[in-house]
Amino acid sequence: MLFFQGPSSGLSVDRTEPADTEKFCIFSRFRLSSSTSSRAWLVDMRSTFRRLLVALRRDKPQSRFPPRFSARYSSEFRCRWQRSSRASARLFHTSASRLLETGASNDTTPVPEAIAPTTPQLPLSCPGCGAPTQTVLPGEAGFYTPTRSAVKKYLYPKEDAVTKEENVINSAVNNVSPELRKQLGLDSLTSERPTAPSSPTVPVCDRCHNLIHYRVGQPIHHPSLQSIEDTIAESPYKRNRIYHVLDAADFPMSLVPKLEHYLSLARLRTQNRRSKSHRYVGGRQAELSFIITRSDLLAPKKEMVDAMMPQLREILRNALGSMGRHVRLGNLRCVSSKRGWWTKDVKEDIWDHRGACWLVGKVNVGKSNLFEAIFPKGRNEDVNLGSIRQKIRYRDLLSSAVSKQNVESTAELKDGSSRLDDPFVDEESLLPPPQPLTQYPVMPIISDLPGTTASPIRVPFGSGKGELIDLPGLARNTLEQYVQPEHRLDIVMKSRITPKRFVLKPGSSLLLGGLIRITPTTPDLIFMAHPFVPLAPHLTSTEKAVQIQNGHSDLQVPNIAESSAKSKMASAGRFKLRSDVTKKYAGPLTRIDAAGLKTSVLPFIVYATDILIEGCGWVEVVAQVRKPKPAVDALSETTPIATAEPQFPEVEVFSPEGKSIAQRQSLCAWLTGGPKKSPTGARPRRSMRSVKRQRKPQT
């Protein structure tokens, strides 16, 4: 019989049924009395009321899934992390039951070597997209189906056939005498204990599962810069590094201007030699670096991309505006996760820096793909010293509580047990808890769907000395909303495209998937266009191109635009070809090993520009114009008059509502990877007719 008495409240409960630690009441201050021992301790008010509510709910059937809560995420992705009822019940059970068992007698009881493993539960968040785990809304992110094979294997792990076979062999070898094992040479096969089954892989939610296997899913609402700032402000590390991820396909349209101002970061280091390399803001060190992903779209070889770095740095400097004139851009890197270009250097930089490393950028710029390439895998220590110290401390406190019946030690013991059994989850925090520290954790999923990452994904490394955090992507003004649903995933360039050359004569235009139209406006001039986009190109007259784009033509031309978008076509502006690429396009005329002429001697100039389509790619437009002859003074035939500013060729671009179009300095990507040339100069194959005639027997 157990007797509970509350000294402060005067409440008592007399129960004659067996002592069940899951079915008794707890008050804010009580005394436990039995026939063999007595003990008193002070329990924290907050934990007492929580345990009281859990004890009252123990009669209801419990589930292995987290409690049901709404999964309607706002644009600020303010996810309220709620504590699992089963985890709270286990918190009470593991502390109270062991104390009652050890306190039943004054005899010395053996201290357990380690805490018994608990039943596996679903993770607090999906490791693929970061969404909080929920079992209410099947169509939303973070939903888990209990009957899915991966979920059942994780919740109910079974010993595989290989492990069973190894255990049988080990047990059989251990039963053999040592002398016989030595004679048979089986010492290397012996083991002290059977092999433990490997832990099952943490499953992803149903939405991530469908994205991986079926390429279907719904995007989430994109966060704002304010929510990104609030999330980074909750960083648990003093040293923080923010990697601004940019896309090479439409670089620099994926740049977020004045990002360091919106995120309250330290300003970029200027070119002044006295400029500080490290600054602290709000007691934290926060640095900003730039990474251009998917650089394999620019050129087929790494050396070619390295040769473009001065141009890319100049393009970024112009995109930063007035503040970019005197800023150092040595922190700009151009990487390729697909080909492994410069990812090792970024990985070593993250490992050496430690602290928190954040990936910030717009949607579909390749953050999740970059995350997997630069995360330092396989570098965590197998032995978790912190966990070992905590278990030793728990064992010492438990033994002292049994022997001395110390009130303060018992309260500290219960606090330590709660930390071991139930990880702390801050319900008010925007930053979710990190994933468990493992050698090879589950990486975020990679998908063409914009808005795949629903919440920050924290993956620790280096025994918890650092974290790599993937943040949800910011909104991007792409053409997705104007494209038919079945073609929305096809407008993203996944690999480098070898384009065809289209010659635009006066009165002709180039259509790209029925969405984009490029029309020359300079009269009597021939243009050349090289589209690096996954949209189907079509060259036709300007009159027919207008009809096809507006949906008034019956021609069988590929058009992936929605019917509502065909009436919204408008001019995105006129773009001048300002980049002088004469030296690159002149070929053998300017090569040193050929004619070796200077561009100033040539009678023509080649201008070019890159027309950018946000989230899709770019179109390289080239035109050759003749140099104007300098005017000569009438009084002096030898003194030329200064010529006026050159007249740059010009094209006009039309798109839905005139959006998602920009311009950059030409990178001459056509020259780095044009169409494959047939081998020239090879010796022709000898005809076999004469040989066969010689082989014929002469009569």
Please report the domains of the chain, with CATH numbers, ordered by start residue.
Answer: 1-65+85-110+383-425 (no CATH), 223-380+437-470 (3.40.50.300), 481-633+644-672 (no CATH)
Mean pLDDT by 10 residues, the chain (699 residues): 37 39 35 35 43 49 40 37 37 36 40 44 89 89 91 80 67 76 65 52 91 85 88 89 94 89 76 71 81 94 94 93 83 92 93 92 92 86 51 60 48 40 59 87 87 91 90 90 90 90 95 94 94 94 93 86 91 95 90 86 94 95 88 56 74 95 94 64 68 71
> What distance in Å separates the CA atoms of residue 237 and residue 466, rounded to the nearest whole number?
8
> What distance in Å separates the CA atoms of residue 661 and residue 654, rounded to the nearest whole number?
9
> What distance in Å separates the CA atoms of residue 316 and residue 308, rounded to the nearest whole number?
12
* Cβ 533 vs Cβ 655: under 8 Å: no
What confidence score (pLDDT) does residue 180 get?
A: 76
What confidence score (pLDDT) does residue 243 get?
A: 94
* Cβ 284 vs Cβ 238: under 8 Å: yes
> What distance in Å separates the CA atoms of residue 480 and residue 492, rounded to the nearest whole number?
10
Helix (H, G, I), strand (E, B) or coil at 261: helix
Residue 38, number of CB atoms within 10 A of its CB? 11
What confidence score (pLDDT) does residue 679 get?
A: 55
Cα 378–Cα 382–Cα 345 angle in degrees, nearest 5: 25
Task: Identify the residue whose tokens are 């991007």.
Answer: 476
What confidence score (pLDDT) does residue 658 get?
A: 93
C-alpha dist (Å) from residue 567 to 265, 344, 467, 543, 551 = 43, 48, 48, 16, 8
Q: In this structure, what DSSP letter does residue 270 have? A: B
The pair of three-digit structure tokens given for residue 260, joined into one six-digit string: 């360091």
What confidence score (pLDDT) does residue 189 get?
A: 52
Please give the radius of gyration of the chain, using alpha carbons only, rounded to the nearest integer: 35
Residue 350 identity: I
* Cβ 334 vs Cβ 312: under 8 Å: yes
> What distance in Å separates the CA atoms of residue 389 and residue 95, rounded to the nearest whole number?
19
Phi, psi of 101 (to 5 degrees): -65, -40
> What distance in Å separates the CA atoms of residue 413 and residue 405, rounded to the nearest whole number?
12
Helix (H, G, I), strand (E, B) or coil at 140: coil
Residues 6+ apart with CB under 8 A from 572: 653, 654, 655, 658, 659, 660, 661
What confidence score (pLDDT) does residue 693 get?
A: 75
Cα 445–Cα 447–Cα 452 angle in degrees, nearest 5: 75
> What distance in Å separates the CA atoms of residue 115 and residue 278, rounded to the nearest whole number?
45
Helical H segments across 21-106, by residue range: 45-56, 85-102
Helical packing angle, 85-102 and 45-56, nearest 10°: 100
What confidence score (pLDDT) does residue 107 get?
A: 41
> What distance in Å separates the CA atoms of residue 594 and residue 294, rounded to the nearest whole number?
35
Residues 6+ apart with CB under 8 A from 605: 580, 582, 599, 624, 625, 626, 627, 646
Run of H or E including 373? helix 367-374
* Cβ 436 vs Cβ 380: under 8 Å: no
> What distance in Å separates the CA atoms of residue 299 and residue 306, rounded to the nearest whole number?
10
What confidence score (pLDDT) does residue 407 get?
A: 46
Run of H or E including 359? strand 355-360
Is the backbone peptide bond immediately before 649 cis, with ω within 30 degrees of 0?
no
The pair of three-digit structure tokens given for residue 323, joined into one six-digit string: 């503040």
Helix, strand, coil distribution of the chain in percent, nearest 5: 30, 20, 50
The dihedral region occupied by 331, where left means phi > 0, alpha psi between -120 and 50, and beta the remainder, is alpha
CA dihedral 142, 144, 149, 151 (to 10 degrees): 80
C-alpha dist (Å) from residue 483 to 344, 366, 536, 554, 561 = 37, 21, 13, 19, 5
Helix (H, G, I), strand (E, B) or coil at 614: coil
Phi, psi of 137 (to 5 degrees): -105, 105
> What distance in Å separates the CA atoms of residue 256 and residue 471, rounded to the nearest whole number?
14
Which residue spans within 548-660 are E strands per DSSP?
569-576, 579-580, 604-613, 617-626, 650-656
> What distance in Å separates the CA atoms of residue 261 and residue 491, rounded to the nearest whole number?
32
> What distance in Å separates the CA atoms of residue 499 and residue 674, rounded to the nearest whole number?
7
Helix (H, G, I), strand (E, B) or coil at 531: strand
Run of H or E including 585? helix 582-585
Closest CA relative to residue 472, chosen from 371, 600, 377: 371
